[in-house]
Chains A and B, each alone.
Chain A
Amino acid sequence: MSRFTYVGLSVAVLAVVAVLCVPVLRTLPRRPLWWTAAALLAMTAVFDAAIVGFGLTTYDDALILGLTVGPSPVEDFAYTVAAIMIVPTLWTVLGRRRRGGDRAGRGEAGQDAPRTDEGA
């Protein structure tokens, strides 16, 4: 069958997300991003197992890879990977936009501070 598969969809979406987010993510401290990725992927393994296990979502077996983490199709993890890229990117971009206004200079939470502040 030549229908679009779950892995095809996931890779396509992740590629677009990566192109948009990686330039911003590269300006951010790496360690919090890696910790967030580790925590969120672990949580996904647990909670997606419940979601799939209880049958809240059903899949067309012909369109998934068949590679699973517990009961979860591995493709489900693409949502988590996307969230890990999108959320810090949006937080950073939305904060930058604000900076032209009343709160010139640093953001309010350290995480927003420009990298030049490091070691200050």
Chain B
Amino acid sequence: MTSLYLGLLVFSLAGLALLDWHRRLAFWADARRTGVLVLVSVLFFLVWDTVGIALGIFARGDVDVMTGIELWPEMPLEEPVFLTLLVYVTLLVWRLVGTRGGDPRPLPGRARQPRSAGVDQGRRGVPGGRPDPGSASR
């Protein structure tokens, strides 16, 4: 029994958090809203999982890459962490696309560029274009 899977999940979550921080997409745009969203979604998926386990549809694999710790019968410690990753990555991808890259922090040692000079310049002035995602947050 090892923490390999748990470690990979936490590593992936840390990478997402870094993206979130840099682009101010979710927790770094509205911490409470993101917190409630993740909590409610993960609880929903845990109920779904538990029903599936109770019906005998799926079960925890007894493999070396997991800690072997069960929160309740057949529910591995890793599952809520995985579900958090699923919900968080969904939120970040949707926000990233929907806000056209979020609200990037300037790179170290570089002055902040006005967004009109940024990478999404080509999408400016598209009819029906949405307001600059950063404009309302400052």
Pairing of A with B: yes
A40 & B90 in contact (Cβ 8 Å cutoff): yes
CB-CB under 8 A for A91 and B59, given A35-B97, A54-B65: no
CB-CB under 8 A for A87 and B41, given A9-B57, A40-B90: yes
Give residues in B with beta carbon < 8 Å to A. Answer: 5, 29-30, 33, 36-37, 40-41, 44-45, 48, 51-52, 55-61, 63, 65-66, 76, 78, 82, 86-87, 89-91, 93-95, 97-100, 102-103, 127-133, 135-137
Q: What is the distance, in angstroms, from A24's C-beta to the closest C-beta of chain B?
A: 13
Contact with B along A40-82 (1 / 0, CB 8 A): 1001000000010011111110011000000000000001101
Q: What is the distance, in angstroms, from A120's C-beta to the closest C-beta of chain B?
A: 7
Q: Does A118 contact B (CB under 8 A)?
A: yes
A95 & B33 in contact (Cβ 8 Å cutoff): yes
Contact with B along A72-110 (1 / 0, CB 8 A): 000000011011101110110011001000000011111
A83 & B57 in contact (Cβ 8 Å cutoff): no
A113 to B56 CA separation, bound complex (whole angstroms): 44
B97 & A36 in contact (Cβ 8 Å cutoff): yes
Q: Does A11 contact B (CB under 8 A)?
A: no
B90 & A6 in contact (Cβ 8 Å cutoff): no
Q: List 21 A-B contacts (CB under 8 A).
A: A4-B55, A4-B57, A6-B57, A9-B55, A32-B97, A40-B90, A55-B63, A56-B63, A57-B58, A58-B59, A59-B57, A60-B56, A60-B59, A87-B37, A91-B95, A94-B36, A107-B136, A109-B99, A110-B133, A110-B135, A120-B131
